[in-house]
A and B are shown apart, each in its own frame.
Chain A
């Protein structure tokens, strides 16, 4: 493939053809100052298509040049097919060998690359050669990410939505995903809580035949989300509890009933009665904390009181 340096009119460049765009950076502000001070060091790469040009690499550089009021840019121009593997490799390597790519950029790069490879092994080799992840399972995950809604990708970049949660959104209907992602973005949850919330919302929706947006617009949800007296963590906890109660009504009712019994047993901070996990087994644990012989003797009295209390029979029978 031959490249020829050319002085190309900016008007002749199809700046809206983003097929080869890898970068997720939106602004060219940092480049504007640099180009103004020291000029364009690396010329963009273009391909000539009919009478115009398509950008292969240098989207932000061309934008910066344009903002600086230039009419022309010096570029390396290749003669190639409109969307070729060769150009894809240039676009990817121009980014991946300059800086670490973020997840969305990796996803975009792999998505472009996968268009040209039918075999997984060939794709893996090409990805490795371009400094992209070379594990097929990660590649497949990233390819799935590249197909998600633009707004969801932004949440991933902002770190308010984890990669695994984003993939989990695929279990929800396509038109529901963005509503769930927005909720998670608002609540800024930990990974486990994100997963839990996505799963509960999708499962309630699938079980009850109700759309997720409809669930989130119910009064019980909007009241929590719009409550100015609650901070983000409090809102997140209340939403989680609300969803849990709806997804697992019997289990949450049993947990509440157990808590009510514990309250009646009047256990202090040094005594703890722990039920079997999910009430499935039959082994309960009773913990006493003590620091002295006197406190140990108090535990004995406390134990006696617990044994005689009618609530303990209720729990154990």
Chain B
């Protein structure tokens, strides 16, 4: 994390977590009374997105730590819960929605762990299967050099049997995952893409091989795994490239260790387009055949999505007929044409994922 400066919210300046982070980072820092100071300074930059990646704002999450995945009714959502540990990302992917999602985008990390764990305890007390992930508003593992939250979470999740924690990343920062008693309640998961997309669109991320090596290490440590092919980008030769990624993935990983594989085609809110045009001038990803989806997001024309999904799924099935593959934010027609069934035939997508989590992570079946 190449930080230039750390801003500290006065309200958390005396938290032990803050002291611990500052001790690890050893960077200049400034205590501020009003978050607006940080946001204004970033907004005034020529490239606020890039500037927001160089500044860390340590603060507290004043809202809920656990949030519902922001799916829409038009498309089938996986219904997982977001554990909101921080905002934004130090890596720089052209297609990243976070560039347009936060105004302005800035690396924010919430140090009020006590509130976070209180909410998690409440969730556990519900005795209901839940899938909780930290990789929605940020990458789950970019914070490893400065925080031990991941270790604390893994440890806490290991001693209950209703919920799984999914750590989703494009890094290979798994050092802190070693030597922990995870009890299979943490799923280590990676976003994967073709080598071409990783090279051209995913700045400062770990290479595909590095991600898969990290995944293989986690497998050897007994962690259940998951993979997310999202966003799938359509370009000449993409099908062959994605098939190579799948081949490579199964060379590193045994299908039995995989809790789920998700596929999601590139989709974006319209305001992201000018940001990509400005920040990634050589990127061609916005020149695909996009239409305005039912949720207002731009997405590939449906037959193109179905075509790519079908090919990828068919190849995954050749190697591993049983691994759970699901589609992220697609409708029944796409499910039926790509996977041959609609989620409701199997109790719904959430149920399918919950059942897989129960099987792979040894959750209590009675909580289903």
Interface residues of chain A, those whose CB is within 8 Å of chain B, are 171, 203, 206-207, 248-251, 254, 277-282
Q: Is B301 an interface residue (CB 8 A)?
A: yes
Tell me which residues from 256 to 313 in chain B have a Cβ below 8 Å from any Cβ of chain A. Answer: 277, 284, 286-287, 289, 291-294, 299, 301-304
Give me 24 A-to-B residue pairs in the complex whose CB atoms sit less than 8 angstroms apart, sorted by A's number. Answer: A203-B287, A206-B287, A207-B284, A207-B287, A248-B289, A248-B301, A249-B289, A250-B301, A250-B303, A254-B301, A277-B291, A278-B291, A278-B292, A278-B301, A278-B302, A279-B291, A279-B301, A279-B302, A280-B294, A280-B299, A281-B74, A282-B331, A282-B332, A282-B333
Interface centre among A207, A251, A280 (most CB of B within 10 A): A280
Provide the residues of chain B in CB contact with A282, threshold 8 Å.
331-333
CB nearest to B292 among chain A residues: A278
Tell me, rounded to whole Å, the shortest Cβ–Cβ distance linking A254 to chain B: 7
Provide the residues of chain A in CB contact with B286, threshold 8 Å.
203
Identify 10 new A-B residue pairs, CB closer than 8 A, beyond the known A207-B287, A281-B331. A248-B301, A249-B289, A250-B304, A251-B289, A251-B301, A278-B292, A279-B302, A281-B74, A282-B331, A282-B333
B289 and A250 contact, CB distance less than 8 A? yes
With the chains together, A206 CA to B286 CA distance in Å? 10
Provide the residues of chain A in CB contact with B333, threshold 8 Å.
282
Provide the residues of chain A in CB contact with B331, threshold 8 Å.
281-282
A280 and B303 contact, CB distance less than 8 A? no
Tell me, rounded to whole Å, the shortest Cβ–Cβ distance linking B255 to chain A: 33
Interface residues of chain B, those whose CB is within 8 Å of chain A, are 74, 277, 284, 286-287, 289, 291-294, 299, 301-304, 331-333
A171 and B277 contact, CB distance less than 8 A? yes
With the chains together, A280 CA to B293 CA distance in Å? 7
CB nearest to B307 among chain A residues: A250
CB nearest to A281 among chain B residues: B294
With the chains together, A280 CA to B330 CA distance in Å? 10
Provide the residues of chain A in CB contact with B277, threshold 8 Å.
171
With the chains together, A295 CA to B304 CA distance in Å? 41
With the chains together, A101 CA to B332 CA distance in Å? 57
CB nearest to B295 among chain A residues: A280
A251 and B287 contact, CB distance less than 8 A? no
Provide the residues of chain A in CB contact with B294, threshold 8 Å.
280-281
Tell me, rounded to whole Å, the shortest Cβ–Cβ distance linking B271 to chain A: 15
Q: Return the 6 tightest CB-CB contacts between A and B, nearest first.
A: A278-B291, A207-B287, A203-B287, A248-B289, A251-B301, A250-B289
Interface centre among B74, B292, B302, B333 (most CB of A within 10 A): B302
Tell me, rounded to whole Å, the shortest Cβ–Cβ distance linking B181 to chain A: 47
With the chains together, A251 CA to B299 CA distance in Å? 13
With the chains together, A280 CA to B334 CA distance in Å? 10
With the chains together, A250 CA to B303 CA distance in Å? 8
With the chains together, A254 CA to B300 CA distance in Å? 14
A251 and B291 contact, CB distance less than 8 A? yes
With the chains together, A240 CA to B72 CA distance in Å? 34
Tell me, rounded to whole Å, the shortest Cβ–Cβ distance linking B76 to chain A: 13
Tell me, rounded to whole Å, the shortest Cβ–Cβ distance linking B332 to chain A: 8
With the chains together, A278 CA to B298 CA distance in Å? 11
Provide the residues of chain A in CB contact with B284, threshold 8 Å.
206-207
Provide the residues of chain B in CB contact with A250, threshold 8 Å.
289, 301, 303-304
With the chains together, A289 CA to B289 CA distance in Å? 35
Provide the residues of chain A in CB contact with B304, threshold 8 Å.
250
Provide the residues of chain A in CB contact with B293, threshold 8 Å.
280
Tell me, rounded to whole Å, the shortest Cβ–Cβ distance linking B340 to chain A: 15
Tell me, rounded to whole Å, the shortest Cβ–Cβ distance linking A277 to chain B: 8
Provide the residues of chain A in CB contact with B287, threshold 8 Å.
203, 206-207
With the chains together, A206 CA to B281 CA distance in Å? 9
CB nearest to A171 among chain B residues: B277
Provide the residues of chain A in CB contact with B303, threshold 8 Å.
250, 254, 279
CB nearest to A203 among chain B residues: B287
With the chains together, A280 CA to B302 CA distance in Å? 6
With the chains together, A248 CA to B287 CA distance in Å? 9
Tell me, rounded to whole Å, the shortest Cβ–Cβ distance linking A114 to chain B: 16
CB nearest to B293 among chain A residues: A280
With the chains together, A280 CA to B306 CA distance in Å? 12
Provide the residues of chain B in CB contact with A171, threshold 8 Å.
277
Provide the residues of chain A in CB contact with B291, threshold 8 Å.
251, 277-280
